[in-house]
Amino acid sequence: MTHLRADAPLRLLLAGANPQEHKHDVVRRNDIAAGFAEVLGKSAVANCRYESVARQILRDRPELVLLVGSILPDRCDYAAMRKSCDQVDARLAFWLQYDPYEFDAYVKIVGLADFIFSNDRWATMHYPRTAVWHLPLAANPLRFGHEPVQPWQGRNCDIFFCGLPYPNRLQLLRDLAPTLRSHHTVVRGTDWDTAEFPYCQNEYTQPEDLPALYASSRIVLNMGRNVSSANNRYQLDASTPGSRTFEAAMAGSCQLLFTDSLEVMDHFEVGEEILLFDDAQDFGAQLEMLLADSERACSIGAAARRRAMRDHTY
């Protein structure tokens, strides 16, 4: 990749990749902008919404334009951004953060982008072009790292999970039901069936509330998803941990992660910074061990926090 020009009026213009950004995507974009500003300086980085990109390129003449998030919505059209970049000699890059679930949408950008970054390693290997790199998601220490981890006895619940009820998660929770029912379990997210899962709080969790929820839980249950919006061409399985794995670690949580990919071992030391399980019996045994040995659980959470601060910030 070429080096950023020292004389560029604006070194980086960061923007949402679609006009329908979810609130969590906006917060993540702001986290990424804060990371770039820490490295390049605040005056070198601008951050805007999708609708403003093309004209802001012409106004501010950045060297690099980086669009982050999902490119799936039908209204996504990047031709005007490409034209503006060409007019001011800027490079256009995408950081796709929903691979492999939206992998088929790459056709919108594959011929327009100078550089493509994907959050998922396995998806990265399937792009029909060069100049594609694997770039995992991370966590913002300003949001997750400053939350004081509460004393073990003062934490609000034994097991915490935040997310949507995708089919694989529903099946896993059914398998884990005897263990979850016998402990203080809290599941947060919309569209859960509270009749089947009485410990589910069927409500949206604001991004600003998540750090404290992680920090006040003894164990964080970590489950990926297997529902895709546009992943028909190769039907790829995700390999790289999602952003909440890094965010929970940054919050000092002891995580029990369901093993659907071993790539997590590239990011955390299993047994020291995160724990894995592959079935209900394994989950129950490890949970009982952690609840009986609070020092071990707290040690794993603290080690995860140190690793996230060292290796997994934007």
Q: Please tell me the predicted confidence (pLDDT) of residue 227.
A: 82
pLDDT tens, position by position, 93-121: 999 999 999 999 999 999 999 999 999 99
Specify the pLDDT at position 146. 77
At 2 the pLDDT is 47
pLDDT of residue 38: 95
Give yes or no for residue 43 having a pLDDT over 50: yes
Read off the pLDDT of each residue in 142-169 and give the average, rounded to a whole number. Answer: 91
The overall pTM is greater than 0.85: yes
Residue 287, pLDDT score: 98
**Rounded distance between C-alpha atoms, residue 214 and residue 162, angstroms:** 9
More confident residue, 126 or 227: 126
pLDDT of residue 166: 95
Confidence class of residue 4 from pLDDT cuts 50, 70 and 90? low
Q: Are 148 and 215 in contact (CB under 8 A)?
A: yes
Residue 145: its pLDDT value, please?
84
Position 1 pLDDT exceeds 50:
no
pLDDT at residue 56, rounded to an integer? 97
3-state secondary structure the chain: CCCCCCCCCEEEEEEECCCCCCHHHHHHHHHHHHHHHHHHCHHHEEEECHHHHHHHHHHHCEEEEEEEECCCCCCCCCHHHHHHHHHHCCEEEEEECCCCCCHHHHHHCCCCCCEEEECCHHHHCCCCCCCEEECCCCECHHHHHCCCCCCHHHCCEEEEEECCCCHHHHHHHHHHHHHHHCCCEEEEECCCCCCCCCCEEEECCCHHHHHHHHHCEEEEEECCCCCCCCCCCCCCCCCCCCHHHHHHHHCCCEEEEECCCHHHHHCCCECCCEEEECCHHHHHHHHHHHHHCHHHHHHHHHHHHHHHHHHCEC
**Mean of pLDDT over the chain:** 95
Residues of the chain with pLDDT > 90, as a percent, come to 92
More confident residue, 13 or 225: 13
Query: Would you state the pLDDT for residue 303?
Result: 97
pLDDT of 7 strictly over 70 = no
